[in-house]
């Protein structure tokens, strides 16, 4: 069973505490029950009960304190973080979000040399505190260069901070808000911590209607001493981007959790609804939509798990994670939207009902592609790796499944964010060659045509400056990287080959769709258009395979799980 099934939790952990964290968290939500879960969601109730549970069980202390900074059971372990994020998303994005913005707030702290703030943070985590990440400002969105939060030096050498931050989760209660700004005298960037209880900190409002508190806050002459400063200059800039590197990976897991719960609910409803004397799941289009939804969801999980292996194995010499991580962020989260769309087409009116999990899933799944860097920002990043990925493969050590209980030290010591174009990758063709499956072969042929387009009709100077054109190219490149990670993990997890071929049936169709989009771009040349047309292929149809996947994997889940009412 690849998907999370909370009642049959059987994930491998090297220590009892990790399993306990997952089981207790599942138990909390099942005890709370679906009715309360939904009522709190609709009433936008602050999730004090969840945070009290987190405090009692020391969950964030265990999960979010790097080894050596806190108790024995604490380590930053992406293997267990993946499932924790998945479980929180499974029960509601709001619970995931309060944890997620704490993770972001902790990033600049654990990356800092400020031992005193780190000591205090470890204690605060033990005490059940939450944290916040004050990066965004109302007027500037993704443009961090324009940040206006300012630290002005005082005669005694300390600073006064002035400015506003916007869209800052947990800004109402965070014990420490890691805040990004500039030093007025030198123009250098700076990360410093503030306390949301301080009289010079004003929590202006919640900018959303939700259980989440996504604050606008203001610092007015907030006193900042040397002891409150985490990073200065380039280090502060690096801490911002490196923290987002850690955090944005978790968005994929929220999508996976949301889709998994929504899937159980949707297939259960459809399989038990009789129309014209037959079950809704007997309609060929309903079967096709559910099969695609399931194939996409399994792919999302395999890809995100594989990317975690590379994150955990990263080092100054191996920075492949800097490609795989935005692929998870951008692709897994947008695939999540597709999964929900497919299922919603089938369950139709049911997806609006207030008592369903699905109703919240349909709303929340939209958020994940947009937070911590939009799809555009991530594709713009991803295309920087394309030349080396396709045309300069390197011999690199194979990365195994990383389910060992180590602390992911490198994530807090990622170093400068420069040099992306120099990062090398192993040859993706190797894993494709190990899968002798019709649709995998077809996908690799499409990839060959795409590569040929890049050499025979490479984007000209105008196209290289045209983000709209680059995004269309980037969609196809992202799909290839996604398929590579998926195959690597299908091998590790010994996934049913019929299911793998079914997933590639979907990917071949996606490849064709993206080729049509690239073909239609205003500046595409004759050579590029010709290659695009050759990328459009029909998947290899195998009715027996599709029927078996439907029966054994998809329809088989119709009564698998229902949340405790």
Ligand X SMILES: Cc1cc2nc3c(=O)[nH]c(=O)nc-3n(C[C@H](O)[C@H](O)[C@H](O)COP(=O)(O)OP(=O)(O)OC[C@H]3O[C@@H](n4cnc5c(N)ncnc54)[C@H](O)[C@@H]3O)c2cc1C
**Complex with ligand X: residue 375 or 479, whichever CB lies closer:** 375
- Closest distance to ligand X from the beta carbon of 383 (Å): 11
- Closest distance to ligand X from the beta carbon of 200 (Å): 20
**Complex with ligand X: residue 67 or 377, whichever CB lies closer:** 377
# chain residues binding ligand X, by CB under 6 A: 19
DSSP per-residue codes, 154-166: -TTS-EEEEEEEE
Per CB under 6 A, contacts with ligand X among 359-378 are: 371-374, 376-377
**Complex with ligand X: residue 7 or 465, whichever CB lies closer:** 465
CB 367 within 8 A of CB 340: no
- Closest distance to ligand X from the beta carbon of 367 (Å): 6
Region of 131-139, 257-265, 335-343, 438-446 interacting with ligand X (CB under 6 A)? 131-139
Per CB under 6 A, contacts with ligand X among 65-124 are: 101
Per CB under 6 A, contacts with ligand X among 374-413 are: 374, 376-377, 380
CB 383 within 8 A of CB 473: yes
Region of 37-45, 155-163, 167-175, 335-343 interacting with ligand X (CB under 6 A)? 167-175
DSSP at 351: G
Number of H helices, E strands in the chain: 20, 10
Where b means 16+ CB within 10 Å and e means fewer, 215-241 reads: bbbbbeebebeeebbbbbeebbbbbbe
CB 249 within 8 A of CB 311: yes
Cα→Cα distances 13→23, 55, 305, 402, Å: 12, 23, 15, 11
Cα→Cα distances 30→35, 137, 262, 388, 561, Å: 10, 37, 16, 47, 12
**Complex with ligand X: residue 371 or 506, whichever CB lies closer:** 371
* Site for ligand X contains 452 (CB under 6 A): no
Side-chain-side CA neighbours of residue 241 (13 Å): 18
* Site for ligand X contains 139 (CB under 6 A): no
Query: What tokens appear for 434 in the block?
Result: 């190990």
Query: What tokens appear for 255 in the block?
Result: 């999508």
Region of 69-77, 128-136, 220-228, 271-279 interacting with ligand X (CB under 6 A)? 128-136
The residue whose Cβ lies closest to ligand X is 141
- Closest distance to ligand X from the beta carbon of 211 (Å): 12
Region of 135-143, 189-197, 321-329, 519-527 interacting with ligand X (CB under 6 A)? 135-143
* Site for ligand X contains 169 (CB under 6 A): yes
Q: How many CB atoms lie within 10 A of CB 106?
A: 28
* Site for ligand X contains 168 (CB under 6 A): yes
Per CB under 6 A, contacts with ligand X among 520-539 are: none
* Site for ligand X contains 255 (CB under 6 A): no
- Closest distance to ligand X from the beta carbon of 375 (Å): 7
Cα→Cα distances 387→391, 466, 479, Å: 6, 17, 15
At which residue do the structure tokens 């991580």 appear? 325
* Site for ligand X contains 273 (CB under 6 A): no
β-pair partners for 51:
none
Between CA 292 and CA 279 the distance in angstroms is: 19
- Closest distance to ligand X from the beta carbon of 90 (Å): 19
Cα→Cα distances 228→108, 200, 438, Å: 12, 15, 59
- Closest distance to ligand X from the beta carbon of 386 (Å): 16
- Closest distance to ligand X from the beta carbon of 210 (Å): 8
Per CB under 6 A, contacts with ligand X among 180-239 are: 208, 214
* Site for ligand X contains 135 (CB under 6 A): yes
To which H or E segment does residue 222 belong? Answer: strand 214-224
- Closest distance to ligand X from the beta carbon of 335 (Å): 18
The three-state secondary structure class of 495 is coil
At which residue do the structure tokens 């090398």 appear? 424
* Beta carbons within 8 Å of 383's beta carbon, 6+ residues apart: 470, 473, 474, 477
Region of 166-174, 217-225, 393-401, 515-523 interacting with ligand X (CB under 6 A)? 166-174
* Beta carbons within 8 Å of 336's beta carbon, 6+ residues apart: 255, 256, 258, 259, 300, 365, 368
- Using CB under 6 A, which of 142, 394, 396, 556 touches ligand X? 142
At which residue do the structure tokens 């800092």 appear? 112
* Site for ligand X contains 305 (CB under 6 A): no
Region of 129-137, 293-301, 334-342, 491-499 interacting with ligand X (CB under 6 A)? 129-137
- Using CB under 6 A, which of 60, 95, 133, 450 touches ligand X? 133
- Closest distance to ligand X from the beta carbon of 165 (Å): 7
Query: What tokens appear for 563 in the block?
Result: 């949340």
- Closest distance to ligand X from the beta carbon of 430 (Å): 32
**Complex with ligand X: residue 67 or 144, whichever CB lies closer:** 144
CB 331 within 8 A of CB 478: yes
Which positions touch ligand X (CB under 6 A)?
101, 133, 135-136, 141-142, 167-169, 208, 214, 371-374, 376-377, 380, 467
């Amino acid at each position: 069973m690849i998907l999370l099934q909370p009642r049959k939790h059987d994930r491998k952990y090297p220590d009892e505490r990790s399993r306990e964290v997952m089981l207790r968290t599942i138990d909390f939500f099942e005890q709370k029950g679906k009715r309360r879960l939904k009522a709190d969601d609709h009433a936008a109730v602050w999730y004090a009960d969840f945070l009290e549970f987190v405090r009692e069980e020391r969950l964030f202390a265990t999960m979010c304190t790097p080894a050596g900074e806190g108790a024995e059971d604490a380590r930053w372990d992406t293997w267990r973080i993946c499932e924790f994020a998945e479980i929180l998303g499974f029960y509601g994005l709001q619970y995931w979000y309060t944890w997620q913005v704490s993770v972001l707030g902790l990033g600049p702290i654990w990356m800092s040399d400020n031992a005193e703030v780190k000591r205090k943070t470890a204690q605060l985590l033990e005490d059940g505190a939450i944290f916040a990440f004050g990066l965004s400002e109302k007027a500037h969105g993704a443009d961090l260069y324009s940040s206006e939060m300012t630290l002005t030096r005082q005669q005694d050498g300390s600073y006064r901070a002035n400015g506003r931050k916007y869209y800052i989760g947990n800004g109402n209660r965070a014990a420490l808000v890691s805040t990004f700004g500039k030093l007025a005298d030198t123009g250098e960037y700076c990360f410093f911590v503030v306390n949301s209880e301080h009289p010079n900190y004003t929590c202006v409002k919640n900018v959303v209607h939700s259980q989440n508190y996504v604050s606008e806050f203001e610092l007015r002459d907030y006193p900042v001493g040397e002891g409150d400063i985490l990073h200065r200059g380039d280090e502060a800039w690096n801490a911002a981007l490196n923290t987002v590197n850690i955090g944005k990976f978790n968005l994929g897991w929220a999508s996976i959790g949301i889709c998994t719960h929504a899937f159980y609910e949707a297939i259960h409803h459809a399989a038990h609804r009789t129309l014209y004397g037959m079950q809704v799941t007997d309609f060929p289009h309903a079967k096709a939509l559910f099969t695609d939804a399931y194939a996409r969801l399994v792919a999302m999980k395999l890809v995100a798990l594989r990317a975690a292996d590379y994150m955990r194995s990263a080092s100054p010499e191996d920075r492949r994670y800097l490609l795989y991580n935005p692929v998870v962020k951008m692709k897994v989260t947008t695939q999540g939207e597709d999964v929900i769309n497919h299922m919603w087409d089938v369950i139709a009116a049911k997806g609006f009902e207030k008592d369903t999990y699905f109703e919240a899933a349909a709303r929340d799944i939209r958020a994940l592609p947009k937070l911590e860097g939009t799809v555009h920002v991530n594709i713009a990043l991803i295309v920087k790796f394309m030349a080396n990925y396709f045309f300069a493969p390197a011999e690199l050590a194979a990365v195994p499944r990383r389910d060992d209980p180590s602390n992911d030290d490198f994530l807090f010591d990622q170093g400068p964010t420069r040099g992306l174009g120099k990062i090398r990758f192993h040859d993706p063709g190797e894993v494709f060659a190990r899968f002798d499956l019709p649709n995998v072969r077809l996908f690799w042929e499409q990839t060959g045509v795409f590569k040929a387009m890049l050499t025979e009709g490479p984007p000209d100077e105008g196209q290289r400056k045209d983000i709209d054109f680059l995004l269309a190219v980037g969609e196809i490149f992202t799909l290839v990287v996604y398929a590579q990670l998926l195959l690597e993990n299908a091998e590790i997890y010994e996934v049913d080959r019929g299911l793998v071929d079914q997933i590639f049936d979907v990917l071949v169709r996606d490849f064709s769709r993206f080729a049509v989009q690239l073909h239609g771009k205003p500046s595409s040349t004759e050579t590029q258009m010709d290659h695009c047309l050759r990328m459009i292929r029909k998947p290899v149809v195998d009715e027996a395979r599709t029927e078996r996947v439907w029966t054994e994997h998809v329809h088989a889940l119709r009564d698998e799980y229902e949340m405790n009412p």
